[in-house]
Amino acid sequence: MSAKYLFRILLFGLLIWSTAGCKEEEDIEPVVEEPVNPNIAINKWINDVMKEVYLWLGEMKTPIANTSAPEDYFESLLNRPTDRFSAIYPNYSELINSLNGVTLEAGYEFTLYRESASNNNVIAEITYIKKNSPAATAGMKRGDYITRINGTQMTLDNYRVVIGQINKQHTLNTIRFNEEAGNFQALPELSLNPVQLAENPNFLDSVYTINGEKIGYVVYHFFAPGPGSGSTAYDQEMDGIFADLKAQGIQHLIVDFRYNGGGFVTSAVNLASLIAPDVKSTDIFSKTKYNSFLMQFDNLKNVQTPFRAKSENLGKILKGNRVYILTSTRTASASELIINGLKPYMDVFIIGDKTTGKNVGSVPFEDTENLTNKYGMLPIVSRSFNSLDQSEYTNGFTPNIEAKESTERLRPFGDVSELLLRKAIEQITGTPSGARFEQLDRRDVGSTLDSKVRAGVMIESVDRN
C-alpha cells in the first residue's frame, strides 16, 4: 500500500486495508501438502495494518507465533496498559452494524449491583428501554429490577454467564417500586425474543420553565449519523431538535451523556456545532495527531476539524455562555471530545461522575483481499486535541458537582426529581429541591453498556454531510 493511498483513506474515510497475495508457480509433479493454517494470513494482515497506523508505533510489542488465534496475536502487539481501548472483533459487518446502533437484542440496558453486603447475589436495575423494542412492548420501565434471568439467580460468580443469554429468547423475573405502597412488588414473568433493532441515539428532548428559567434538556445515548451506511437521519433529527429549542427561546441547555460511551466523530462535530456560540466553518473544533510514521506526510501533520456553520446553532442565547453536561463513569470518547472541544468557546459545567478519560480515536479495518478473513479491527490510531492544543484528560473530566446515579433509586428520564437532572436544575435556578430521597449504598459491578462495541470508542469516519 502506498503512503499516498494510506493518507487518503486516513483523512477522508473509513480505512479499508488490502493485502495482496502471491501465487507460486505450480510444481511439475503433484505433491501432497499440509493444509496452510488460515491464521497465518490473518495475522500477517493484522501486523501489516498495525505497523503503519498504530498510535504507539514505537511501543508496539513483538508478536507471538503467526499461527496463533488472531485475537491473541492482536493482543500481543498492543501497548498495554497505556492502550486501554484497541480491540478486534470476529466479524467486521457486525462491528459496523453495532457502531451504528443495529444489534440483535430485546431493547433494554441495565446496571448490575450487589444485592447486599451479606450475600453474593446480583440484581440488575433497568437503566433505559429502547423505543419500538420487545422490552418496550412488554411494558418494562427504567428503574425495574431484574431478579432472575431464565429462572437463574445472578451471583458475583455467574452473572457474566447468565447475562450472556439475553441475546436469545429468554425469560425475566422483575420487580417494580410501587410509589403508593412504598415498596417493590413482583411483576408477571416476561418472555422476550430479541430482534435486529436499530436504536435511535436521540432518546429524549424536553423544555421546562422553572422559576422563570427556560431550560432545554437533551438525552443522547451514542454518536451515529444514521442507522446504516450513508444515512444521516439521526444527525438531521438532532438538527430539528435544536431548531425547536432555539425557536422556543431556551436560556439554558442540559445535555445528558451519562450512558454515552462514544461513536462517530462526524456526529460529535454535528452536535458541537449546534451548541458552541455562533461558530463558523473557520472555527476549529478539534485537532488530530497520528503516529510517527504517518506524521511524516505533510497532509497529516496538521489535521484540523472545523465546526459546521448551522442555522440551528443556539448562538448566544444561553445564559452565562454555559452548557450543562450530565456524566457518569461510562461517559467516554466522543462525549469527552465534545466537552474538550467546547471548552475554548464556552463554560462547560459538568454534573455527575468522573468520565472515562479517552482522548484517542480508532478507525475500523477490514481485509478486502482475503474474503475468508471476517475479522474487523479497531486499533487506536490517533489522539485528539482542542483548538488550544489541550488533550490532558486521560484520567477523565472531574465534575463540577458530583452526583452518582447509584446513590438513588432510578426515576424516569425527564422527571425533574431524577437525580442528575434535579442537580442541574438546582444549579440553574439557585433553588435546592425540597424533596427528600432515600439514599442507597450499593456497588456497581457492571453494565450491559460495558459490552457494547461503541463503549469507549471514537470513530474517525467519512463526513457524510
In the numeric block, which cell numbers belong to residue 232? 444521516
Tell me the mean pLDDT in the region 241-259.
Answer: 98
Residue 458 confidence class, pLDDT cut points 50, 70, 90: confident
What pLDDT score does 428 carry?
98
Least confident of 7-11, 157-161, 255-259: 7-11
Q: What percent of the chain has pLDDT over 70?
A: 91
- pLDDT greater than 60 at residue 14: no
CA distance 355 to 394: 9
Residue 465 confidence class, pLDDT cut points 50, 70, 90: very low
Mean pLDDT score of the chain: 91
The residues pairing with 254 across neighbouring beta strands, listed in sequence order, are 217, 324
Domains contained in the chain, CATH given: 104-197 (2.30.42.10), 199-459 (3.90.226.10)
What pLDDT score does 13 carry?
41
What pLDDT score does 267 carry?
97
What pLDDT score does 341 carry?
98
Tell me the mean pLDDT in the region 152-174.
Answer: 96
- pLDDT greater than 70 at residue 5: no
**Measured between alpha carbons, how far is residue 297 from residues 5, 56, 293 in Å?**
12, 17, 8
Least confident of 61-70, 164-173, 434-443: 434-443
**Number of Cα atoms under 13 Å in the Cβ half of residue 156:** 10
Per-residue pLDDT of 131-144, as tens digits, reads: 999 999 999 999 99
What pLDDT score does 311 carry?
97
- pLDDT greater than 70 at residue 456: no
Q: What percent of the chain has pLDDT over 90?
A: 84
Tell me the mean pLDDT in the region 118-123.
Answer: 92
The answer to whether residues 300 and 310 touch, using CB atoms and an 8 Å cutoff, is no
